[in-house]
Structure 1
Amino acid sequence: MSPAAGGRPIVSLGEPEVHDERRRFGGRGGARVVAVAACLVLGLGLVGGAVTGSWLVGDSEAAGARDSFVAARSLWHSVPVDRLFPTRVAGQGAGPGGADRSWTRIAVAPDSGCRDAFDPLLRKALAPVGCQRLLRATYTDATRTYVTTVGLLFTKADATAMASLAKRFTDEELDRRTDLMPRPYGPGFANDERATWTVSVLTDAPVVVYSVSGWADGRTVDEPQSAAEAMESGATTAPAQAGLGHEAKGLADRIERALRKQVGPYATEQAS
């Protein structure tokens, strides 16, 4: 460091093997140092900005998911029944071999608890997530040959509990056990008439979606079969041959889509 005019010090840098303290930043070596330093500062700024941006995006996505999860919990009393259970449901490609299906709503249950909606073992399996409210509706197909009850169980659970239950249903194949069937709703659709069913535990909403199908003529079924099994290639049971697995799965999927369609706008409304 050497004094300059006016008494202000000037810092000087030396190149390797050179010990001339009078060299200034204006020299060739000093220019390279300045350029390297500038690049380093710019690089750190870009990296830091990218990292910060990724954190912000991650936080935003996580916050959005949390908002949607919380919003879904209130849909049972904030969304009209016709939006959750439309009077008519189109099932393009939902039938065997990709055939189209359509369903018409014939009954809607009052919102209720879960006490009488499930067989005892299914009620026990669902107990860890609790029961806040249960909505149910029953549909028939275009030919009025089949009836299907579809339900939306709004739980009391958080996202972790829902993920845990979903994993258990998948790992233990609980949705294929005949002793874990949901019960039907509506006149003319009794427990011994259940032919196929499906149960889906959502992980992005505190909701369990299920359905159960049977024949509309009231015939009893000795060997019910899960929708997943009835839809397998080569299945020869009566429910499978009738396409009842597709009835249960196809309608449950469309009602689940109707539910998801309501979550986004409602979450935005609640956040604003």
Structure 2
Amino acid sequence: MDITARLRPVGELPGPRPAGPWPPPPEHPAGTAGLPPHPVRTRRPIRTAAALACAVLGLGLIGGAATGSWLTGDSSADTATHTAYTEGRTLWHSLPVDVFFPRTLNGKGAGPGGADRVWTRIAVAPDGDCATSLDPLLARALEPVGCGRVLRATYTDATSSHVTTVGMVFTKGDIAAMRALKARFTTEGLAKRPDLMPRALRGPGTVAEHFGDRQRASWSISVLTDAPVVVFAVSGFADGRAVADPRPAAEARAKGATSAPAQSGLGHEAGGVAEGIEQALRGGLSTAMETSR
């Protein structure tokens, strides 16, 4: 049985419909029906021609500005998005690894009960492609936006009892494609499916040496729309114990959750590290945009 059958291509989101024609003004202003018409003043030819010329010039300037704005999409939001997507596509090879994956990641209030967390980077993988860096089904789910490169790193908590692999997929999709993918992940619950769980990155000679697929306990997948990037994270125990019932981070972080990943705090590990890396990514992107101006 083909487990990828449920993943359908993502189509473009329908755009907004154009507004209908503005209704014409009433023939008579309210309360004026039946009143005698205003007296018509006689205009001199020179004044009339000058008034007509000014009106035509004004309409031309307004129309030209509106047309130019429509053709170029010249608004502050559109310009910022375009720059973020333009810079974001090549950001993976233009910034140092410490920008994407800080050596130390601080998670203020990211632990259970709002406790602070500190994570230390212990392993970094060379940039790779989706085929070799992601589970095949997750790679297929991301096909509609096109996979550029994948960056991954593994962190451990202050007690070295938990390990978390976090990564970023730099896509080729535009803002419409990223929005469509995000909507699909939301409506179809793709981020909660265990068969789309991200892969773990082992760290030979570190506490993540035995962190593999069977050790994965909780995970997070976030499709961004302010940049062409998908951020993911997956956590587990550092002692190599297998987890029989992994849970998505959103579920494991919920109040009153009783699963093993929830009680051990591994949902907070995956979610907190992913959020920290998202912040680092946006900081690096903002710096790159400022530099390019």
What's the CA shift for 1:161?
1.1
1:166-192 alpha-carbon deviations (Å, 9 max, x no partner): 110011111111111000101321100
What's the CA shift for 1:268?
2.7
Q: Does 1:154 align with 2:174?
A: no
Identify the residue that residue 173 of structure 1 maps to in structure 2.
Answer: 189
For 2:154, which of 129, 138, 143 is the aligned residue?
138
Instruction: Give runs of aligned pairs for residues 18-167 of structure 1, distance below 5 A.
Output: 59-167=75-183
Q: How many residues align?
A: 236
Whole-angstrom CA distance in 2 between matches of 1:137 and 1:99: 23
Q: TM-score, normalised by structure 1?
A: 0.79
Counterpart of 1:83, as a letter, is: V
Whole-angstrom CA distance in 2 between matches of 1:16 and 1:74: 69
Q: Tell me the SS of whatever aligns to 1:246.
A: helix
CA RMSD of aligned residues (A): 2.7
What's the CA shift for 1:119?
2.2
Note if contact 2:224-2:230 (Cα within 8 Å) is conserved in structure 1: yes
Whole-angstrom CA distance in 2 between matches of 1:111 and 1:17: 78
Note if contact 2:81-2:227 (Cα within 8 Å) is conserved in structure 1: no
What's the CA shift for 1:87?
0.3
Whole-angstrom CA distance in 2 between matches of 1:252 and 1:64: 24
Identify the residue that residue 217 of structure 2 maps to in structure 1.
Answer: 195
Which runs of no fewer than 5 residues in structure 1 stay unpaired?
1-14, 26-36
Cα 1:185/1:61, change in 2 over 3 Å: same
Whole-angstrom CA distance in 2 between matches of 1:198 and 1:167: 16
Counterpart of 1:264, as a letter, is: S
Identify the residue that residue 28 of structure 2 maps to in structure 1.
Answer: none
Whole-angstrom CA distance in 2 between matches of 1:167 and 1:142: 36
Identity of paired residues, percent?
A: 54
Q: Does 1:244 align with 2:266?
A: yes
Whole-angstrom CA distance in 2 between matches of 1:116 and 1:145: 28
Larger Cα-atom Rg:
1
For 1:230, which of 252, 261, 271 is the aligned residue?
252
Higher helix content, 1 or 2: 1
What's the CA shift for 1:17?
10
